[in-house]
Amino acid sequence: MDLGLEGTAAVVGGASSGMGLAIAGALAAEGCAVTMLARTPQKLEQAAAGIPGAIAVPGDVRDQGALEQAVGRTVEERGRLDIIVNNAGFTWDNVIQKMTDEQWQKILDVHLSAPFRILRAASSYIRDAARKEREAGQSVFRKVVNVSSTSGIYGNAGQANYSAAKAGIIGLTRTMAKEWGRYLVNVNCVAFGLIETRLSQALGGEGAQIDITGRKINVGIQSANLEALQRMIPLGRAGLPEEAAGAVCMFCYPESNYVSGQVITCAGGLY
C-alpha cells in the first residue's frame, strides 16, 4: 500500500534502539530515506545497517553540532528534508527534595532544548524551500512529530523534570504549528504511555543503566509500580515499539496535511 512517503527524507532522533529504531524502520519501509541520529556510534552503525540507505549520524542531541550535521547531511545527500521526529531521551527520576540541578537540567536539555535546537537548525532550509515551492506554484507539506508522554499531560510522582520537559514539548509543538503553518509544515505530538523499551523495564533488569557523559544513571520502573501500571491499561499490556512507531507515522502521511498543533495519546486507553 502506497502511503505517500516514497521519495521523502527524514531525520529521526534517538534512532539506535527502541521506539526511535522502530520509527526509522517504519518510515523507511514506506519509501522514506532516513537519517538516524543517536549518541552511541557502534550501536547506531549496527542499527543503521539494518535499514537500507540509512545515514547514521552519531552524536548527542544536546550537542548543537550533531543536530546541525543531521540536518545538513540530509539536505546535502538527499536534496530535501521532509520529516523531523524528535524522539531521543532518557529518564532520571527523583522526588523534588532529592532532585539536583544537574538532574533537572539534563532532562530538560534532552527532551525540550534539543527539539527546539534541531527545529531552529532546520528553519533556514524550510523557509527557503517553502518560498521556492510557493513561487513555483507547488504545495509541499513537511512534518514535525514531537514525542511527549502521559507524564507531560497528567504529571507523575518522582518525575518533576521529565514531566515538565514533556509538558513543554506540547507547548513547543503548538507554537511551531502556528509559526510554520505558512510554510506548510504540520507540527504534531504523540504522548506515549507505557511502551516496552529499556526505560520502562523493571529496575535492575538487563541494560538498566545508561552512561550519560560518564555518569551511570539507573533507568526503569520499580517492579511493583510496573505491574500496577500494566493492570491499569485497558488494552491489558504495554505497547510495542512498532505500535509506537505507527502513531508517529500517522502524522507523517499526506492524509494528515490538514492536521497540525495536535497531541494524541498512545497509551492503550490509559489516561
What CATH number is associated with residue 101? 3.40.50.720
What pLDDT, in 10s, does the model give residues 16-68? Answer: 999 999 999 999 999 999 999 999 999 999 999 999 999 999 999 999 999 99
Is residue 165 situated within a structural domain? yes
Would you say residue 18 lies in a domain? yes
* In a domain? residue 208: no
Calculate helix-pair angle for 160-180, 114-135, nearest 10 degrees: 10
Per-residue confidence (pLDDT) for residue 197, from 0 to 100:
83
Residues 6+ apart with CB under 8 A from 36: 12, 15, 16, 20, 21, 24, 44, 47, 48, 51, 54, 55, 56, 57
Average pLDDT for 226-238: 87
Instruction: Report which secondary-structure segment, H or E, holds 146.
Output: strand 142-149
pLDDT digits (tens, 9 = 90+) for 175-192: 999 999 999 999 999 999
Active site residue 162: yes
Q: Cα separation of 34 and 25, whole Å?
A: 8
pTM for the full predicted model: 0.92
Is residue 42 situated within a structural domain? yes
- Please state at what angle helix 241-250 crosses helix 18-29, rounded to 10 degrees: 50
Min mean pLDDT across 7-21, 41-55, 211-225 is at 211-225
Catalytic-labelled residue, pool 125, 154, 162, 258: 162
Per-residue confidence band for 204, with pLDDT thresholds at 50, 70 and 90: low
Tell me, yes or no, whether 231 lies in a domain: no
Number of domains in the chain: 1
pLDDT at 1 over 50: no
Out of 28-37, 76-85, 218-227, least confident range = 218-227
Q: Is the pLDDT of residue 212 over 90?
A: no
Rounded to the nearest integer, the mean pLDDT of the chain is 93
Per the structure, the complete domain to which residue 37 belongs is given by 9-197+240-266
Q: Where are the alpha helices (DSSP H) in the chain?
A: 18-29, 41-49, 64-78, 101-108, 114-135, 150-154, 160-180, 223-232, 241-250
Could you report the per-residue pLDDT of 85-141, keeping only the tens digit for each?
A: 999 999 999 999 999 999 999 999 999 999 999 999 999 999 999 999 999 999 999
Any domain includes 228: no
What is the arithmetic mean of pLDDT over 148-168? 96
Closest-CA residue to 38 (of 14, 73, 17): 14
Burial category of 76 from C-beta neighbours within 10 Å (exposed 0-12, middle 13-18, buried 19 and up): exposed
Domain for residue 92, yes or no? yes
In a domain, 1, yes or no: no
pLDDT band at 228 (very low <50, low <70, confident <90, very high): confident
